[in-house]
Structure 1
């Protein structure tokens, strides 16, 4: 099964992202209930690894932390594949990211290896974008690149199944892991 671990986006931020999407006239917009910040993606998880993965995520300790955004940008350069709200890097987010990857490795899984660029995907452009894409994306970015996006306090991570079909993926949260403080004197490696 396809799984990912993410920081969910609360309703106030989802509303702001939906407002940002309204100015984009190309691409397939992500549904507001699917906004999240991916920490790890697993393209294929055998069912027998799920219990160990769950146990590892249960052990992650972190304080709730603030998430801030720096504006919108594209991924893919000259051939854009998605539009995203970019998350301002923070030590707390990096710590949770490393803890998720560590728990996955202990469960015998290897998350997809990509440079961690925290973001919330707003729209996907697909493999065959229309000829008008470049001009439309440039227009959109010039109007919205520095958009004010309200931040939020991250308080949990989710383990989510992603099911592919004919349209957008269907997400099903399998588990939630609320942040809990570290014991005194301890730190996540």
Structure 2
């Protein structure tokens, strides 16, 4: 099972982001149901014991709820395929939450990440040969600013490989306070 920890976006925020799709042809746009803000990629977890260690570690998270906003478009360049992204406004509470997740998962036996945390939301993938067109898309959406989103829980997702897209399945949610239980279907 391929796992990662992320902030699941609210439906109104997903709708807001979905309006940015389609303004550039020949992009593999990510379905809006897959929009999320990755806090920590875990990778393949094959044993039940590893899964339980991860669950126990994430169950120890504790932070004060906070708000975050999305701010401006960008492009993450890669060798063959680039990614159109939306940046996250600088947020010390988000950075502290991600750092806490990293420490707890390392103690649970997860490998140390080699990349620095650069929070963003991926919207689509485009050939790296089309960087000039991508740059125009970034310029057109660089003033994008979302309505603030309240962060009161994090989600453990499983990534399933589909025919042409990945599907992300909720495995567990962890509230801002370890003793708070999340009731499915209830908004905090």
TM-score over 0.5 for the alignment? yes
Runs of 4 or more, structure 1, over 6 Å off, are: none
* Distance of aligned partners of 1:111 and 1:18 in 2 relative to their CA distance in 1, 3 Å threshold: farther
- Give 5+ residue unaligned stretches, structure 1: 183-189
Q: In structure 1, what is the equivalent of residue 177 of structure 2?
A: 180
Paired position in structure 1 for 2:110: 109
Distance in structure 1 (CA, Å) of the matches to 2:101 and 2:157? 13
8 Å CA contact 1:43–1:112 kept in 2: the answer is: no
1:9 aligns with 2:6: no
Please list the CA deviations of residues 28-55 of structure 1 after superposition, one character each: whole Å capped at 9, or x if unmatched: 1111111111011122223220101101
Question: How far is 1:111 from its partner?
Answer: 4.9
Aligned length: 178
TM-score normalised to the size of structure 1? Answer: 0.86
* Aligned mate of 1:147, from 122, 144, 147: 144
2: CA distance, partners of 1:181 / 1:57 = 9
Residue ranges of structure 2 left out of the alignment (5+ in a row): 180-188
C-alpha distance in structure 1 between counterparts of 2:112 and 2:4, whole Å: 9
Q: TM-score, normalised by structure 2?
A: 0.87
2:135 matches 1:134 = no
Q: Normalized per residue, which structure has more strand?
A: 2
Tell whether the 8 Å contact from 1:58 to 1:177 is kept in structure 2 after alignment.
yes
